[in-house]
């Protein structure tokens, strides 16, 4: 029986982000959409639930195994907006699959296929800038060529 090996944690490679500002989201279908990011949560990478591989031959513990595929989670955020955005979102973005770019503060980018799932204005209150929450779904599907395409991360030179 082989035992798991001990691994020593090493210093992280690369440079860690020092600041969360600015982070922006661009839609190829409408790169100048009438909202401005105030907060953005980048997508998660989720391996999904484990596969239970326990059998009647197990004698000590239940066993499991990782799945092969993973899911890229949604992007969420808060935005300031121009009310004109209502007609633009309905005609260009809502449920319209296309190329989307998340640009991180140091300049690196994450490009993927997806769509704007939701634009949800919040209560408007005197003395506060009106905001809306947005939700973007990562589809990983190129509708033009009808193929699966995973996200493409482009590192900034020197990171």
Q: Is the pTM of this model over 0.75?
A: yes
Task: Tell me the per-residue pLDDT of 77-120, one tens digit each, with 9 for 90 and over.
Answer: 999 999 999 999 999 999 999 999 999 999 999 999 999 999 99
pLDDT-derived band at 6 (thresholds 50, 70, 90) equals very high
Domains of the chain by range and CATH? Answer: 24-47+70-153 (2.40.30)
Task: Tell me the per-residue pLDDT of 11-24, one tens digit each, with 9 for 90 and over.
Answer: 998 888 999 999 99
- DSSP output for the chain: -PPPPP----PPSS---------EEEETT-TT-SEEEEEEEPPPEE--SPEE---TT--SS--EE--S--EE--EEEEEEE-TTHHHHIIIIIBT--EEEEEE-TTS-EEEEEEEEEEEEEPPP-TTS--EEEEEEEE--EETTTTEE---EEEPPTT-
Task: Tell me the per-residue pLDDT of 38-86, one tens digit each, with 9 for 90 and over.
Answer: 999 999 999 999 999 999 999 999 999 999 999 999 999 999 999 999 9
Average pLDDT over residues 127-132: 97
């Amino acid at each position: 029986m082989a035992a798991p090996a001990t691994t020593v944690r090493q210093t992280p490679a690369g440079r860690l982000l020092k600041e969360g500002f600015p982070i922006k989201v661009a839609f190829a279908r409408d790169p100048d959409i009438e909202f401005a990011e105030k907060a953005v949560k980048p997508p998660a990478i989720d391996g999904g639930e484990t596969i239970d591989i326990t059998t009647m031959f197990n004698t000590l513990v239940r066993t499991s195994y990782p799945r092969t595929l993973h899911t890229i989670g949604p992007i969420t955020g808060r935005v300031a907006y121009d009310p004109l955005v209502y007609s633009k979102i309905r005609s260009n973005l809502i449920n319209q699959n296309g190329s989307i770019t998340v640009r991180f503060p140091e300049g690196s980018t994450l490009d993927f296929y997806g769509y704007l799932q939701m634009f949800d204005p919040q209560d408007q209150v005197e003395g506060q800038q009106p905001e809306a929450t947005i939700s973007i779904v990562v589809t990983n599907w190129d509708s033009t060529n009808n193929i699966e395409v995973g996200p493409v991360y482009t590192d900034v030179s020197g990171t």
